Each structure stands twice: as C-alpha cells, then as structure tokens.
C-alpha cells in the first residue's frame, strides 16, 4: 500500500530482499520497481520513504522497521549510521560473506557471461575488526552535530573535530571517539592529538575559509608493531608545529616514524607533497613469510595485511609454479606479489606506473636478497608491448592485479596476443574483472575462482580467478 506525500512516497510493509551494489540493500515496491535502501539488512520488513524516483528504481530510507532480519546483529560502533564507513556492521559476518560471494558470482555470470567452475568458498578474514593498517583523519572546526545537539536549545560552542568526512559533505567532519578498524594505538593517538590541540588552542582547519593549523592526521600501523604518524599542517607555524610533534613523540614512544607536511593547496592529498621527517625513519616495515617490505608515507600497501597474506597465498596456489616459470606481475605496486612468488619461479618481471613504487620494489627485493625479480615503470598499455616481450620473453604465467577500472583494452589484447598458458587475475572490482574475462573468453577458460574478503563490515571484496589457455 502506498501513501503519497508531495513527491515522496511511503511504502509500508516492504521486505528487504537482497544486498546490492555499494552496500545498499534492495527491496521491491508494490509497483514492481526496485527500491535501494541503506542501513537495513536483507530479511527486515520495513516502511520506506522514497527521496528519489528514477525510471527503473527508487532510492529511499527506512522510516520504521516492522520486523528484524534473523541476520541482524548489534553494530559494535557508536558511530554506526552517521560515519558511513562500515555499512554492514549490522549484518552477521557469515551473511556478509554470503552477499560478497553472491555479488562476485552475479558479476561473472551476468557481465562476464563466461562458463564458470564451481566457486571455491569465499575466504573470510580472521580479524573482523581492527584489521586496517592505514587511516586518515581530518581536522575541522565545523564538527557534524548530533541530532540531540541540534534539538537542544542554546549554542554549541565546541565545534572542533578530528575524524571522518560525513558521506557527500566535504566540509563536515564526524568527531570519532573510537574507530573499530585500526589496531592500537590508533584510537589513543587520534584522541590525544585532539585533546592536546584543544588544550593548547591550536587551530583546527576551517574548510570553508581555508585557514587553521591542523589539517589531517594519517596513522599507519604494521604487524611488526611499528607505527607511522604524519600530521598535515596548513599554517606554516614552526613553534606550534613542534609543540604538537614533540608532544606526540614523548607521549607515544612506539611511533617509529614521525612525519609532517605543510600543505597550503586547495586539496589535502599527500601524493604531490614534500614529506618532512621529524623523528625516526621515513618508513616502517611490514613482514610476510620472512620478506620485509618498507612502507613510506606515500606507498601503497594492502590495507588488511593479515588477509593480504591469504590473498597472496591463493594467488600463488592458482599460479601453480614449479620453479621453472617466467612470471609477469602486472600492476605490481611495490612488487609484493612478485617477491612473494619469486622463490617458486625462475624469474619474475613486475610492471607498474608509479616510479616511487618501482623504486621501492627494487629496494625491497635487494633488502630481501631476491635476485630473480626485475621491475619496470610505465603505463601498462604503453610499456607492455611487442618490444617488451621480445626483450623479456613470453611469460609462462601472467599475474595481473589492476586498479578498480580493470585492464585497459590494449593490455587485454596484448595478453591474448602472447597467450601465456596461465593467467591469474586478482581484482578488487569483480564487475570490471567480469568485463575483461568476457574479452578473453575465446582464448581462456575460467578454471578456478576464489573470492577473498579483505574488508569485513563493508561490501568490498577481492576476487582471484585462474584462467587457462584453451587447447
Ligand atoms: C590494486 S593495486 C595492486 C598492487 C599490488 N599488486 C599489491 O598487491 O600491492 C594496482 C596497482 O596498479 C597501478 N596502476 C594503476 N594504473 C596503472 C597503469 N595504467 N599502468 C601501470 N600500473 C598502474 C597502481 O599504481 C597500483 O599500484
């Protein structure tokens, strides 16, 4: 039954049927259209109010939950619902895995339209909280107010915040007291930085006026116990800068890398910034199977390191190396997969577009005493060409781990041209992976598929596919 209000519609007693793209759930309106609803769980029965109407679907929000799904669980985080970071915290972990696996299957089936083997069961993460090794928090003097604060009479004076952007609101920051994603001492560091800054009248960034001292705080942790902290300042005020950095270094002796940057640009990305070392080393170490990887402030490293190990093991297993193979590792980043499989290969060639990452890959390989890996820098669609193959040889096994957009068509064409016996395709976006598999279907058969969950409490999922050349 539908009651109409202006242009918003209320549908009552609607069943939530599925969990869809971007972690939003799916229900069906009485007129047959799909309704996308966040913050609910499949199995809930809800009253929903729409706020957007499109030809094929509505977007809405639950205004009442009539009955709760058996797959619901109590979110552990006090910020759940406002933060937007862990959308599935209200769903049991086994059920999260079920929907992740389903999404991969649907993408490969519907977009890829390729013949599929039976999936190997999704590999869940042992750590379902405190699994992330990198968090970035923003300072703001425009704290997001709670509904209670807004409804209470009187002015709110304290508007300083250190936390996360409210989804789709670039200038509003949710103050975070406890985040369940990064292990200790992440919460303590953030909360102590905030307390010290407020007590010492250090100015939090004003995102509208572009003024203030404190802009962002990045914390990186490693399974080795090392900790990196980077504060991004807007004002170039040495006295205040040293005040807070000295405080941090004394209060948290476990920080092995203390860095800062002064950035007066419009945006706060660090990639084009000159990072300054204040104390310790400019990098921390991560370790995996005895291999050491140095991570600096700008390095990419898989954000769930324990589960990255599982992902790499699946990748190595799918590659089925015997020690005699020439292996290519496309989109190698800092060469972690290349080094991880190198003991079981004759030679590994890694290719990546970020020069710093390749410099680190070489340095890490040297430090790990690996001498059968070579790394090359450049845009894949340009570097990975006939000349490159003539120089380095046709690989027996090609591992590819592209960014979310998947592989460029020229890269896919080149793979088809050289046609290695095996391709192991690691992907963080099974929709683009499915598109690429479709392009390769005439030459390659999908023989193994195993999704791996790197990001519990979110809808994100990695997927590993083994392709073998058709005979
Ligand atoms: C998903 S990451 C994979 C990193 C690595 N395999 C790992 O596990 O750490 C994708 C990598 O592709 C690189 N990349 C993105 N676009 C590229 C391009 N056009 N050519 C080469 N590398 C690219 C990124 O810099 C990034 O390091």
DSSP codes, 169-199? -TT-EEE-S--SSS-TTHHHHHHHHHHHHHH
Helix axis angle, 409-418 to 430-440, nearest 10°: 40
Chain centroid, CA 429 distance in Å: 11
Q: Please name the helix (run of DSSP H) or strand (run of DSSP E) that holds residue 168, with its range, or none.
A: none
Shortest CA distance to 196 belongs to which of 250, 276, 268, 264?
250
Please check whether residue 110 lies inside any domain of the structure: yes
Please check whether residue 79 lies inside any domain of the structure: no
* CB-CB contact of 36 with 54 (8 Å): no
Shortest CA distance to 42 belongs to which of 63, 4, 1, 70?
70
Residue 254 among known ligand-binding residues: no
Question: Which of 236, 251, 285 is at the close of a domain?
Answer: 285
Residue labelled with tokens 């425009």 = 142
Structure tokens at 106: 């649907």
Do the strands 347-352 and 326-330 form a parallel or antiparallel pair, or are they unpaired? parallel
- Judge if 192 and 323 occupy the same domain: no
- Judge if 139 and 273 occupy the same domain: yes
Contacts of 286-290 with CB under 8 Å at 24 or more apart are 286/133, 286/222, 286/223, 286/224, 287/222, 287/223, 287/224, 288/312, 288/336, 288/340, 289/340
Residue 380 beta carbon below 6 angstroms from any ligand 1 atom: yes
Do the strands 422-427 and 444-452 form a parallel or antiparallel pair, or are they unpaired? unpaired
For 425, the 3-state DSSP assignment is strand
Provide the CB-side half-sphere exposure for 306 (13 A, CA). 16
CATH of residue 21's domain is 2.40.50.140
- Judge if 183 and 62 occupy the same domain: no
Question: Which of 285, 319, 334 is at the close of a domain?
Answer: 285
Residue 331 among known ligand-binding residues: yes
- For the chain, what is the domain count? 3
- Judge if 281 and 329 occupy the same domain: no
Shortest CA distance to 314 belongs to which of 469, 451, 114, 125?
451
Question: Which of 229, 252, 285 is at the close of a domain?
Answer: 285
* Residue to mutate, 342, 353, 406, ligand 1, most ligand atoms under 8 Å from C-beta: 353
Residue 44 among known ligand-binding residues: no
CA of 422 to the centre of ligand 1 (A): 20
Residue 453 beta carbon below 6 angstroms from any ligand 1 atom: no
Q: Please name the helix (run of DSSP H) or strand (run of DSSP E) that holds residue 9, with its range, or none.
A: strand 8-19
Please check whether residue 387 lies inside any domain of the structure: yes
Please check whether residue 310 lies inside any domain of the structure: yes
Residue 276: how many CB atoms within 10 A of its CB? Answer: 14
Cβ-in-10-Å burial (0-12, 13-18, 19+) of 251 comes to: middle
- Judge if 253 and 322 occupy the same domain: no
Task: Give the domain extent around 53.
Answer: 2-67
- Cβ partners under 8 Å of residue 211, min gap 6: 203, 205, 234, 235
- Judge if 278 and 392 occupy the same domain: no
Q: Digits of tens for pLDDT over the chain (471 positions)?
A: 555 444 689 999 999 999 977 888 999 999 899 999 988 999 999 999 998 888 889 999 999 999 999 999 999 999 998 887 899 999 999 999 999 999 999 999 999 999 999 999 999 999 999 999 999 999 999 888 776 666 776 666 778 999 998 877 777 899 999 999 999 999 999 999 999 999 999 999 998 899 999 999 999 999 999 999 999 999 999 999 999 999 999 999 999 999 999 999 989 898 889 999 999 999 999 999 999 999 999 888 999 999 999 999 999 999 999 999 999 999 999 999 999 999 999 999 999 998 989 999 999 999 999 999 999 999 999 999 999 999 999 999 999 999 999 999 999 999 999 999 999 999 999 999 999 999 999 999 999 999 999 999 999 999 999 999 998
Please check whether residue 437 lies inside any domain of the structure: yes
Catalytic residues: 428
For 216, list phi and psi in degrees, rounded to 5.
-140, 160
The CA distance from 206 to 210, in Å, is: 5
- Judge if 165 and 202 occupy the same domain: yes
CATH of residue 456's domain is 3.40.50.150
Residue with CA closest to ligand 1 atom 17 = 353
- Judge if 149 and 234 occupy the same domain: yes
Please check whether residue 329 lies inside any domain of the structure: yes
Please check whether residue 58 lies inside any domain of the structure: yes
Residue 124 beta carbon below 6 angstroms from any ligand 1 atom: no
Q: Please name the helix (run of DSSP H) or strand (run of DSSP E) that holds residue 227, with its range, or none.
A: strand 227-233
The CA distance from 161 to 73, in Å, is: 29
The CA distance from 466 to 471, in Å, is: 15
Cβ-in-10-Å burial (0-12, 13-18, 19+) of 162 comes to: buried
Structure tokens at 312: 């790499």
The model's pTM is: 0.91
- Judge if 270 and 143 occupy the same domain: yes
Please check whether residue 17 lies inside any domain of the structure: yes
The CA distance from 315 to 318, in Å, is: 5
Residue with CA closest to ligand 1 atom 19 = 379
For 183, the 3-state DSSP assignment is coil
- Judge if 151 and 216 occupy the same domain: yes
- Judge if 333 and 255 occupy the same domain: no
- Judge if 234 and 319 occupy the same domain: no
Residues paired with 62 in a beta bridge: 48
Structure tokens at 423: 């391709």
CATH of residue 187's domain is 2.40.50.1070
Q: What is the predicted pLDDT for the residue at 144?
A: 82
CA 374, 380, 382, 385 dihedral sign is positive
Q: What is the predicted pLDDT for the residue at 153?
A: 65
CA of 41 to the centre of ligand 1 (A): 34
């Amino acid at each position: 039954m539908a009651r109409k209000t202006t242009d918003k519609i209320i549908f009552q007693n609607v069943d939530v049927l599925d969990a869809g793209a971007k972690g939003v759930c799916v229900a069906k309106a009485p007129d047959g259209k799909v309704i996308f609803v966040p913050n609910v769980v499949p199995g809930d029965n809800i009253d929903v109010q729409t706020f957007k109407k499109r030809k094929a679907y509505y977007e809405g929000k639950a205004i009442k939950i009539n009955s709760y799904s058996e797959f619901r669980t109590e979110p552990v985080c006090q910020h759940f619902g406002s933060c937007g970071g862990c959308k599935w915290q209200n769903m049991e972990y086994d059920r999260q895995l079920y929907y992740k696996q389903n999404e991969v299957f649907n993408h490969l089936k519907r977009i890829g339209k390729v013949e599929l083997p039976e999936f190997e069961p999704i590999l869940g993460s042992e750590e379902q909280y405190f699994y992330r090794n990198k968090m970035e928090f923003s300072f703001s003097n425009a704290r997001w107010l709670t509904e209670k604060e807004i409804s209470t009479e009187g002015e709110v004076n304290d508007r300083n915040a250190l936390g996360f952007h409210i989804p789709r609101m670039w200038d509003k920051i949710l103050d975070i007291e406890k985040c369940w994603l990064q292990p200790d001492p992440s919460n303590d560091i953030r909360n102590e930085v905030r307390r010290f800054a407020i007590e010492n009248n250090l100015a939090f960034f004003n995102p509208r006026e572009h003024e203030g001292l404190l802009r962002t705080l990045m914390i990186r942790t490693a399974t080795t116990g090392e900790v990196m902290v980077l504060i991004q300042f807007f004002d170039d005020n040495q006295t205040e800068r040293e005040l807070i950095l000295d405080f941090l270094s004394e209060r948290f002796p476990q920080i092995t890398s203390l860095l800062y940057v002064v950035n007066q640009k419009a945006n706060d990305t660090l990639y084009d910034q000159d990072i300054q070392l204040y104390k310790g080393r400019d990098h921390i170490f991560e370790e995996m199977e005895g291999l050491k990887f140095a991570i600096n402030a700008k390095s990419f490293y898989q954000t769930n390191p324990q589960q990255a190990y599982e992902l790499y093991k699946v990748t190595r297993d799918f590659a089925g190396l015997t020690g005699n193979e020439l292996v290519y590792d496309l989109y190698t980043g800092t060469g972690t997969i290349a080094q991880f499989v190198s003991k079981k290969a004759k030679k590994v060639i890694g290719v990546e577009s970020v020069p710093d990452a390749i410099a680190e890959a070489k340095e890490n390989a040297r430090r790990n005493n690996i001498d059968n890996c070579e790394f090359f820098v450049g845009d894949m669609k340009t570097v990975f060409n006939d000349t490159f193959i003539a120089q380095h040889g046709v690989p027996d096994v090609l591992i590819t781990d592209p960014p979310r957009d998947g592989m460029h068509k020229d890269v896919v064409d080149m793979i088809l041209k050289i046609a290695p016996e095996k391709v192991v395709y690691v992907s963080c976006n099974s929709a683009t992976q499915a598109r690429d598999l479709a392009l390769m279907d005439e030459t390659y058969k999908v023989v193994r598929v195993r999704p791996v969950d790197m990001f519990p409490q979110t809808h994100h999922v990695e997927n590993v596919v083994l392709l073998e050349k058709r005979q």
